[in-house]
Amino acid sequence: MSANGSDPRALYERFKFLLTARTPVAMATVVRGEPLGAKLLVLPDEWAGSLGNADLEARAAADARELLQEERSDTRAYLVKGQPEPVEVFLETFPPPPVLLIFGAVHVAQPLSQFAKTLGFDVIVVDIRAKLATPERFPVADQIIHAWPDDALEMITIQRNTYVAILSHDPKFDEPALLGALDSPAAYIGAVGSRKTNLDRRQRLADAGVSADQIARIRGPIGLDIGAFSPEEMAISILAEIIAVRRGRAGGFLADASGRIRGPRQAQAAQEAVTIAS
């Protein structure tokens, strides 16, 4: 579905509104070919603006939506009737911020929430214990919910960009949280506990009828193996694993890795595209 309004000022104002509303959106910009600098604002179910060619708009919009799902940007080349060379379009995506959903307002959850906020996550903390889940202990949390997991999950929409950390060490709290998270498209589900605790937990879930594929989604013991000891180190271990999952990496030593060292260069690529198009 298209909405071909081409007023640049109106397009920019709508773009700013969508970013503020945290709506998934992408901007397609012609960076080589004609019309140079033309822009298309791409949403999940429509687009606005114009790239000067309806077929090009449809193809660019479809690619932009795929990139939005992958949380990355890219430049794509398209053959367009009437143009001797491929038209290059920079597809810059603006997915909503990732969400870190923490079950259990324990000591580790405090630095975890702080570090995650620094990395651009929205942070939600859930715990039935109101004395622990407080704004004083979690000043950067976007939302603090005092409820059991079943009730909290009624108030939360877990999406593909949600990362779940289950930290309470209490089966009465952990396992309902796990069951709710497994019944969602969450990108990551991690749970604290020793290896034995996690093996026993997996067995109880299997006995309750949870499939092997679902159980395999649980990352437990949670975090990467960095020898973490303090709450801050444990928080770094957990966030490191979340980042690795988000970027599609194994989380090992860079010295042992092959291929690109850094993740996608979205910010720099975006700036380069703006410079080219201006």
CATH number for 190: 3.40.50.720
The answer on 246 and 148 residing in a single domain is: yes
Q: What is the pLDDT of residues 87-138, one digit of tens each?
A: 999 999 999 999 999 999 999 999 999 999 999 999 999 999 999 999 999 9
**Number of structural domains in the chain:** 2
The residue-averaged pLDDT of 168-191 equals 93
pLDDT value of position 270: 40
Which of 96, 112, 145 is at the close of a domain? 96
Does 1 map to a domain? no
Q: Are residues 131 and 205 in the same domain?
A: yes
89 and 162 share one domain: no
Question: Mean per-residue pLDDT for 161-183?
Answer: 93
Residue at which a domain ends, from 96, 124, 150 = 96
CA distances from 85 to 19, 34, 82, 206 (A): 33, 10, 9, 57
Query: What does DSSP say about strands 218-219 and 188-191: parallel, antiparallel, or unpaired?
Result: parallel
pLDDT of residue 264: 58
Domain extent for 29:
8-96
Same domain, 103 and 59: no
Kindly state whether residues 110 and 207 are assigned to the same domain. yes
Each residue's pLDDT tens digit, 41-78: 999 999 999 999 999 999 999 999 999 988 889 999 99
Q: What angle do CA 111, 70, 116 make, to 5 degrees?
A: 5
